[in-house]
Amino acid sequence: MPITSDSTVAEVLDDYGKITRAELKNWLPKGDPEDYLYGPMSDYPMRGGRMFRPSLCIATAKVFGASLEQVIPAAVSIELLHNALLIHDDIEDESDERRGKPTLHKKIGTPLALNAGDSLAFLSLRPIIRGSASMGSDSIVRILEEFDQMAQQTAEGQALDLGWRRDNHIELCEADYLKMVLKKTCWLTTLFPIRLGALIGSGGRANLDSLFNFAFFLGAAFQIQDDVLNLIGNHERYGKELGGDLLEGKRTLMLVNLLELSSSSERVRIKAILDTPRDARSDASVSWLRSAMIERGCIEYAKELAHGLAGAASHEFDKTFKELPESSDKAFLSKLPSWVIERS
Amino acid sequence: MPITSDSTVAEVLDDYGKITRAELKNWLPKGDPEDYLYGPMSDYPMRGGRMFRPSLCIATAKVFGASLEQVIPAAVSIELLHNALLIHDDIEDESDERRGKPTLHKKIGTPLALNAGDSLAFLSLRPIIRGSASMGSDSIVRILEEFDQMAQQTAEGQALDLGWRRDNHIELCEADYLKMVLKKTCWLTTLFPIRLGALIGSGGRANLDSLFNFAFFLGAAFQIQDDVLNLIGNHERYGKELGGDLLEGKRTLMLVNLLELSSSSERVRIKAILDTPRDARSDASVSWLRSAMIERGCIEYAKELAHGLAGAASHEFDKTFKELPESSDKAFLSKLPSWVIERS
């Protein structure tokens, strides 16, 4: 069924996701060493996933004037890099599950998983480089500089997330949380796909910085919804262990909000729970944390903030994209703010 | 003191090393998050190191006609990537020491070290991309494809090394060892620096594949000498824990040779020692392994093979570089085969 302006977000994700995945398979090397490298590199990309990032890049590029063929290499690069970083994130977070199955390092051990992630990260540059080879050196350099900026911002965000947890840092406010999310989530999830799409679609003429607000609000709403789903989602559809963020001590919006609302004695208790090594953290203390978040309205608060951010993203979209011609891709983009907060 | 044809290898490494390190410092980002990211990223590059890889690239490029300025960005990229991969190698190998100090993950924990390695790996592309921006798209793409090829080969070699150890695989012969070394060591240590130097120096006209034998023989001799030094070197000068390879169960040339010379009952004993988790491996069993390698002449054998490879590298150098003009850089390259097997 061809995509039209009436297509749902799920339908477009399914369509662009299939196209991206079919092309992505061609970029995954085969052969030796199969068990130690190329099998593990293909594992996460072949598990599925929503394909939100590549679809966002494809739709943006087409809105700005690209053909599907022109933007596919960029979409493949984004999805490959996302999967590479998931492998490393799962090691860093000691996560057990990814897309409904054991994480890669649980399956094959940390050393081989780390190496497969490295190889997939370098591979992620290949489609974008080959795809832009005919564009002239200015375009190649601009595209690679976009990639470079995103990689640096993502590493900064990941460093904040990991560092705050390592040091059991609890003096955090909502602004700290949003700064972390901007870097850790938004650059790879929304800013880079949108900027790269606009760059490719416009042949370098679009003002990429004007797209910042839409991308940031959309990405932040996406991450907060993810925080919420981790706590109260449907395990089968979510694909990760529920409450994993609590076990991993992640600085989610709910946790930051709970800390802000807590008395100093409660903060001491929360800090002690977070300080317990993951394996030693009792079910009772995790349940207490979850209940406190519910009782204090932290989950409701997170949902409201995600709602507000999605509304702001919608507003920014209308403002920024108003001069661009109507199309099924523009309709898809306009529906994303609602979708990110409604998805389960 | 200016470099001349009479300069020793150590003098040239010192000179090119200082130049590369001074420039490298300018590429290391500063600012927040300092403790969680930018400090850790600067740690290994600032610990020193021989600067063999960047010096090899600089000298080759100059022999092929480049100015020092033209090749410095490539030299910096190589050294940055080398340091990034050292961080990840140390995690994968659970190593304790690097350049005479605790490994990065021992200092700051695996999650932050892994992330700093990722960030340094992406950063390593920055000098090479900026440095080649004025060269035209064909040159940029060729340089990036060289980088890509090296990264893939290196990951394959690392996968073999790690996979063989994880599965306690002992059915290995010298050809398996040399294949692993070609991929794991030679691509990043000699092939890429030499190919990239020749590419930049010749403006894309050099036949890079003709340099394969020199680079491979040089790199293999380098790795075998490293295996030997790990076992019988001077700890202070070597900078890593002596015998670390034995503790980590690495498939060194001496181990492969010992396995080839052993009876089936001895192989059972060796396999059992290698199968013991690192922390549980007794000093007595490690001593036995070391003694067996000495008694069976495995260390002598490794030294002889390194010697033979260095001789072959010299021969290949004379053949491949004979048409290129004499210079202090050419003299430096000609001395490298002897240097790699004589260094302590």
pLDDT at B138: 85
pLDDT at B232: 84
**CA–CA separation, A12 and A249 (whole Å):** 35
Q: Please name the residue ranges forming H helices in B167-211.
A: 174-181, 192-202
| B339's tokens | 């240097």
Q: Please name the residue ranges forming H helices in A169-243.
A: 174-181, 192-202, 212-232, 235-238
Nearest-by-CA chain B residue for A140: B137
Number of cross-chain residue pairs from A and B with Cβ atoms under 8 Å apart: 147
Dihedral over Cα of B253, B258, B261, B263: its sign? negative
Q: pTM for this structure?
A: 0.96
**CA–CA separation, A184 and B57 (whole Å):** 35
How many Cβ atoms sit within 10 Å of the Cβ of residue A262?
Answer: 17
Indicate which of B137, B143, B166 best probes the interface with A, i.e. most A CBs within 10 Å of its own CB: B137
Q: Determine the distance in angstroms separating the CA of A127 from the nearest CA of chain B, rounded to an integer.
A: 11
A153 belongs to a structural domain: yes
Dihedral over Cα of A125, A127, A130, A132: its sign? negative
pLDDT at B271: 95
Element (H, E) at A101: strand A101-102
B3 belongs to a structural domain: no
**CA–CA separation, B255 and B146 (whole Å):** 32
**CA–CA separation, A114 and A102 (whole Å):** 15
| Stretches in chain A below the pLDDT threshold 70 | 235-242
- Cα-Cα-Cα-Cα torsion B59, B65, B70, B76, nearest 10 degrees, comes to -20
Q: Does B104 touch chain A (CB under 8 A)?
A: no
Question: Domain total for chain B?
Answer: 1
Q: What is the CATH number of the domain that holds A77?
A: 1.10.600.10
| Among the listed residues A147, A323, A172, A311, the one whose alpha carbon sits nearest the alpha carbon of residue A249 | A172
Q: Does B237 touch chain A (CB under 8 A)?
A: no
How many Cβ atoms sit within 10 Å of the Cβ of residue B47?
Answer: 15
Longest CA pairwise span in chain B (Å): 63
ipTM, two decimals, is: 0.96
B48 belongs to a structural domain: yes
Chain B contact set for A35 (CB, 8 A): 163
**CA–CA separation, A313 and A270 (whole Å):** 33
| A121's tokens | 């990260």
Phi and psi angles of residue A322, each rounded to the nearest 5 degrees, phi first: -65, -30
Q: Does B286 touch chain A (CB under 8 A)?
A: no
Q: Does B107 touch chain A (CB under 8 A)?
A: no
How many Cβ atoms sit within 10 Å of the Cβ of residue B150?
Answer: 22
pLDDT at B235: 65
Do the chains contact at A35 and B163, CB–CB below 8 Å? yes
Dihedral over Cα of A127, A133, A136, A141: its sign? positive
| B107's tokens | 């200092």
Domain span including residue A52: 9-342
Write the DSSP symbol of residue B187. Answer: I
Element (H, E) at A97: strand A97-98
**CA triple B327-B328-B333, angle to 5 deg:** 95
Q: Determine the distance in angstroms separating the CA of A36 from the nearest CA of chain B, rounded to an integer.
A: 5
A2 belongs to a structural domain: no
Do the chains contact at A91 and B110, CB–CB below 8 Å? yes
**CA–CA separation, A218 and A212 (whole Å):** 10
Chain centroid to CA B188: 6
DSSP string for residues in B75-111 = HHHHHHHHHHHHHHHHHHHT--EETTEE-HHHHH-HH
Q: Name, in order, each residue with C-beta under 8 angstroms of B18's C-beta and a sequence gap of 6 or more.
A: none
A4 belongs to a structural domain: no
pLDDT at A279: 79
pLDDT at B1: 72
Tens-digit pLDDT string for chain B (344 aa): 789 999 999 999 999 999 999 999 999 999 999 999 999 999 999 998 999 999 999 999 999 999 999 999 999 999 999 999 999 999 999 999 999 999 999 999 999 999 999 999 999 999 999 988 888 788 899 999 999 999 999 999 999 999 999 999 999 999 999 999 999 999 999 999 999 999 999 999 999 999 999 999 999 999 999 999 988 877 666 666 667 888 888 999 999 999 999 999 999 999 999 998 877 888 888 889 999 999 999 999 999 999 999 999 999 999 999 999 999 999 999 999 999 999 87
**CA–CA separation, A238 and A218 (whole Å):** 19
Answer whether A78's CB lies under 8 Å from A125's CB.
no
Do the chains contact at A114 and B92, CB–CB below 8 Å? yes
Q: Name, in order, each residue with C-beta under 8 angstroms of A17's C-beta and a sequence gap of 6 or more.
A: A49, A50, A51, A54, A55
**CA–CA separation, A38 and A123 (whole Å):** 11
Q: Does B285 touch chain A (CB under 8 A)?
A: no
A120 belongs to a structural domain: yes
Q: Does B148 touch chain A (CB under 8 A)?
A: yes
| Side-chain half-sphere CA neighbours of B69 within 13 A | 0
**CA–CA separation, B87 and B24 (whole Å):** 17
At B215, which amino acid appears?
Answer: A
Three-class DSSP category at B34: helix
**CA–CA separation, B309 and B228 (whole Å):** 15
How many Cβ atoms sit within 10 Å of the Cβ of residue A201?
Answer: 25
Token pair 């924990």 is at which residue? B109
Do the chains contact at B159 and A33, CB–CB below 8 Å? yes
pLDDT at B242: 65
Write the DSSP symbol of residue B191. Answer: I
